[in-house]
Structure formats: C-alpha cells, structure tokens
Amino acid sequence: MTISTKTPITSSPPPIKKGWRQLGSQLIGPLALLGPSGLWLLLLLILPTLLIFQLSLVKDIRPGDLVIPNGIYNYLRVFEPINLLVIWRSLFYAFGTTTICLLLGFPVAYWIAQLAPKQWRNIILLAFILPLWTSSLLRTYAWITILRPTGVLNSVLGLIGLPALELLNRTPAVLIGMAYSYLPYMVTVLYASLEKLDRRLLEASADLGARPVETFWKVTVPQTLPGIAAGSLLVFISSMGDFVDPELLGGASSMTVSRLIYNQFLGSTQNWGFGSALSMVLILGVSIAIALLIKYGDPKPSR
C-alpha cells in the first residue's frame, strides 16, 4: 500500500467583493477634499470655456441672437493679415518682455541667492515683491507720469543737457511697463532655482582652470535651466494676455489680442463669435505654454 504525498489541489476562494458601504466610505474623503475645487473649476472654467467654444462656431452673433453653431468661419478670420499682425504684435511684446525680465532678473536673483548676506535675503526679496501689492493700473499711470514728454524722465534729461525722448505711446514704453510689471515673477522663480545651486561644482570648475564665463555657461546655467524655463514661461503667459500696459502706454497703435477681444465683446464691433474664436486661440496658446511649464519647470522643491 502506497501513500500519496501529493498535496491535494484546492481551488482558491473567490475574492470578497467590496460592499457599497465600504466603497462609499473610501470615496467620502477624496470627494470632501476635491469636491469644492472641482465644482469651482467646473462652474468657472470648464463650462465658460465650452460656452465660448460654442459661440466661436456661430457667424456674426450679437447679444440676444440665437446660438446655432454652423461652422469655423470665425476661426478662418483669425488668419486674415490684419488679425495676424495683431497676434504677431502680442507675441513680440511677450517675447520682448520675457527677454528683458530674464536679462535683468538673473543677475539680481543670483546676487540675492548667492552673494547677499543670509540675514538680508528675505528682506531684499520682499522688496522686489512689494510692487505687486499695488494696483497694476496705478503702476502703469506712474510710468505715464515718468515717460510722457513733460514727465520726470525728460525733465531730468533736460537738467543734464540731454535731448528729450519720445517714449510714450511707442513700443519701448510698452516693453518698459510690462517688464516692470513681471520682473518680480522672474526674480522669485530664479531665486528659488539659484538658491539650490551646488557651489562645490563652481569651486571644482575654478580649480580645474575654467574661466568665469565658462563656469557660468557650463555649470551655472545647466543647474538653473529648469528655473529659467519656468520663469520665462510664467512671464510669457502673463504678458501674452496683458491688457493694461499696451493699452495705456502704447496708445492706439499697439493693438494686441486682448484689446481685439475686448472690442468684439464690449466695443462698437459687437461680434461675439469672432471674439470667442480669438479667445479660444489665446486659450490654446496659453495651454501649450502651461504644458511646457509643467514639463520643463523645476521639479525639485527647495530644501
């Protein structure tokens, strides 16, 4: 008589299904935390965007007209030469502002993060943020007072014997005002990146005989590249939709996308369909910039 040593095969019990009560208890926490913000985004972002998209498909719609989407005529109007010129001007202002803020903000942020005394860094950084506590309209009117023909700048130039400058209602005035408005954003983002700069690599580069310029381009810039990308995209996104600075400092010759959209909704044109199409194009451009900001922004938090 032989005794079998094989282990009998037993079927595994079926998995226990979670009851509705247990599943509900697990969803209460996330819904309680995400519900208010999700409702806020749904009512004030998603639904208005869908409404704008619906209006953008209606030709020559005005207040009170029946909304019947009938094609992409409004989007084709965006590519008309006069409208492309406005879009190009907006892109020029955005790129110009970003470049000026980067060139001015990087040395300042580097000095605050690496060279300024530690006990004064927060105070100096606060000094750059203080202008954001005032109204953007008030800051723009201050620049009008400075740049107008009889303003502060030309008065000072006259005292030292230099000719007056015609800056107001021109492109330089717009770039000056926009750069002043968004420079604090660039400085704070670059400061957060430069604060984490590994000084041991800088010392190693100097010990190996690298010149300061080589150290800057081969050691400093690669370490701070995510911060440069984040600050540049943040300034670009903000300046692309700026309305106040181009309108007040540039005059009638500085028509931007924001002003053109305003004219379609609240101006004499009253073409909500075309204004909605322009809004959707601007939203698409900003969304692409935000996606790039998320992808190439600084992923490492400050320590």
- At 99, which amino acid appears? T
Instruction: Convert the pLDDT of each residue in 285-302 to its tens digit.
Output: 888 888 877 776 655 544
SS3 assignment, position 197 = coil
**pLDDT, averaged across the chain:** 83
Closest CA to 94 of 200, 263, 246: 246
pLDDT at residue 84 greater than cutoff 50: yes
Inter-residue contact 51 to 34 (CB < 8 Å): no
Could you tell me which of 49, 56, 86, 63 has the C-alpha nearest to residue 270?
63
Residue 202 pLDDT > 90, yes or no? no
Burial 128-148 (b: 16+ CB within 10 A, else e): beeeeeeeeeebbeebeebbb
- Is the pLDDT at 24 greater than 60? The verdict is yes
Tell me which of 220 and 103 has the higher pLDDT: 103
Q: How confident is the model at residue 181 (pLDDT cuts 50, 70, 90)?
A: very high
- Please report which confidence band the pLDDT of residue 215 belongs to, taking 50, 70 and 90 as the band edges: confident
Specify the pLDDT at position 93: 94
**Exposed/middle/buried for 283, CB within 10 Å: 0-12, 13-18, 19+?**
middle
Say how far apart CA 135 and CA 140 lie, in whole Å.
Answer: 9
Question: How does pLDDT run across 240-288, given as a tens digit for each residue?
Answer: 888 889 989 988 778 889 899 888 888 777 788 898 999 999 888 888 8
Rounded average pLDDT over 142-148: 91
Q: How confident is the model at residue 85 (pLDDT cuts 50, 70, 90)?
A: very high
CA distances from 173 to 41, 141, 176 (A): 36, 12, 5
pLDDT 10s digits, 128-138: 888 888 888 88
**Model confidence at 219: pLDDT above 90:** no
| Cβ(223)–Cβ(239) below 8 Å | no
Q: Give the whole-angstrom CA distance, residue 91 versus residue 89.
A: 5
What domains can you pick out in the chain, each with its CATH number? 73-295 (1.10.3720.10)
